[in-house]
Structures are given as C-alpha cells and as structure tokens.
Amino acid sequence: MSSARKNILNRIESALDKRVDIPFPDYRQTRFAFQNNGLNLKAAFSEAFTALDGHLICCRGRKELAENLGKLVTAQGWANIRCQTPALLEDMELRSLPYINSSADNETEAGVTDCECLVARTGTIVFSASQASGRVLPVYSPAHLVIASADSIVFDIDDAIILLERKYNDQLPSGIFFASGPSRTADIEKRLVLGVHGPKEVYLFLMESELK
C-alpha cells in the first residue's frame, strides 16, 4: 500500500509541474459573505432555529426549567428520558425528576443533553464527542431535548469552530456535530418529511442566565 501512496503523490507532483494561475487575484476571502439581518444573537438564533422546525423554550432559572420540562413530558406522555450528562443530572438537578433515566431500558422516548454552543445565523446546535452524551444519544433519541445557556450563542459557524479550538487546545474531539433542527428528507418527490433517522423533534431549553 505504501507504493500506492508514493505513486499517487508522484503523479500529483508531476501533474502540478504545470501551474495554473489564481483565477481571481483581486478577490480576498471575507467573513462577510452572508446577509446580516441586524438582530442580536438571541433573536437571530431564535428566528433561524424556529424556521427549521425547532422548538424553543426560554427558561429563567432551574425552577422554570423543571416546570417547562414537566409540562412537555406530560403533554407528550413520556415516561423514560435518557440523560448521561453529570452536569445536568447534578448541577441542574435533573436526577430528582421521576422520568429521567427511570428505566435502564435502551428504548427511551427522548434524550436530554447539553451542547457545546449555538450558532445564531444558521439556528444550529453544536455537539461534540467529548460531551458526556457522546456521539449516539443526540442523534438516536426519537426526540432530543437540549439545555443550553443563552450565553453560549455565537454568530456564525466559524465562531463555533474557533471556540472549540480554544476550548480543546487544538486537540479537537473525535466528532463535532452541527445540528440544525430535526432530521429531515425531501427524497420522495422533494416533499419535506421530518424525522428520518435522527430526532423527529428538537426542543431547546434556553437558559437566560449562566448554566451553573
């Protein structure tokens, strides 16, 4: 196989003996390729996330979070919601809620996780494999509940990437996931259907003040 490596690299190098000039020398990369609607981060996120069929629930403090969670769980008739994030179980006191990890059964109706950050322009929730929720839970849960701080909203995709690079000191998690709304398809006659393989519903509990 190492000969394949050598052969391919040799072929590339000899092909590149003949150079092609830069197509548009006067055009420099810019970070301002996108329309800016002038909204603040929270309003911009809220608009984009809702447009993607995400459910946004704003909460002031833990009490309101528990109340809102309870309301949703009752309305949906859920009995077993999986959570494997210590920060949520302990600090946010989710462990005391009867429907959280109520059975060891893998068949849960929903999963609750935190996230790395939120992207305002695209209404995206960013997850990573370094979170206690791991790779599978955020995407395999039939419904996904996310608890995030309003302070974690950044403007664009690259702000989130920079944030992760700083946080993990350039030793990035093995997986980084940018999720924008519930799973969807338009593969049959271009018709929109929600919930193909990932969650059918995404609920974001946005904490007005810091999580901790």
Partner 1 sequence: MNSKEKAFLSQSEKIVFDPDHRKKMNFSLKQADNAYKKGRLQFSDMETTKKIAKNIKWNAIEHLHTYLEEFETRFTRNGGKVIWAEDTRQALDAILNICKRNQAKTIIKSKSIVTEEIHLNSFLTKHNIEVLETDLGEYIQQLDGEAPYHIVSPSLHKSKEDVAKLFHEKLQVPPHLTPEALTLVVRNKLRKKYPIAEIGITGVNFILPDIGGIAVTENEGNAWLSASFPKIHIAITGIEKVLPSVHDLNLFWPLLATHGSGQRTTVYNSIYTGPKNQNETDGPEEMYVILLDNRRTHLLSDTTARESLYCIRCGACLNVCPVYKNIGGHAYEATYSGPIGAVISPYLNSAEAYKHLSFASSLCGACTEVCPVNISIHNLLLNNRRNAVENNFVSPSEKIGWSIWTKISRHRALMNWPGGWVKNIFITKLFRKSWGKRRSLPSFARQTFNQLRKKINKS
Q: Which of residues 77-106 bind partner 1 (CB under 8 A)?
A: 84
44, 112, 148, 182: which one binds partner 1 (CB under 8 A): 182
185 binds partner 1 (CB under 8 A): yes
Q: How far is the CB of 11 from partner 1 (least distance, A)?
A: 4
Site string for partner 1, 140-179 (x = CB under 8 A): x---------------xxx--xx---------xxxxxxxx
For strand 201-207 and strand 55-59, is the pairing parallel, antiparallel, or unpaired? parallel
CA 100 from centre of chain: 21
How far, CA to CA in Å, does 28 sit from each of 25, 34, 35, 139?
8, 15, 18, 37
Q: How far is CA 160 from CA 31, 76, 98, 117, in A?
A: 14, 32, 34, 7
- Beginning with the edge strand found earlier in the chain, give each strand of the sheet holding 201-207 in spatial order: 55-59, 201-207, 143-149, 110-113, 81-82
* Residue 32 beta carbon to partner 1: minimum distance, rounded to whole angstroms: 7
Of 38, 98, 189, 212, the one binding partner 1 by CB under 8 A: 189
Q: How far apart are the C-alpha atoms of 82 and 29, rounded to whole Å?
A: 43
Q: According to the binding rule CB under 8 A, does residue 28 interact with partner 1?
A: yes
Size of the site for partner 1 (CB under 8 A): 76
Note whether 135 binds partner 1 by CB under 8 A: yes
Taking residues 32 to 61 in sequence order and writing x for each that binds partner 1 by CB under 8 A, - otherwise, the string is xxxxx-----------x---x---------
What's the closest the beta carbon of residue 149 comes to partner 1, in angstroms?
Answer: 22
Q: Which stretch binds partner 1 (CB under 8 A): 26-34, 57-65, 69-77, 93-101?
A: 26-34
Q: Which is nearer to partner 1, 29 or 96 (CB)?
A: 29
136 binds partner 1 (CB under 8 A): yes
Query: Does residue 7 bind partner 1 (CB under 8 A)?
Result: yes
CA dihedral 157, 158, 160, 164 (to 10 degrees): 140
Distance CA 28, CA 151 (A): 32
φ, ψ at 134 (rounded to 5°): 70, -160
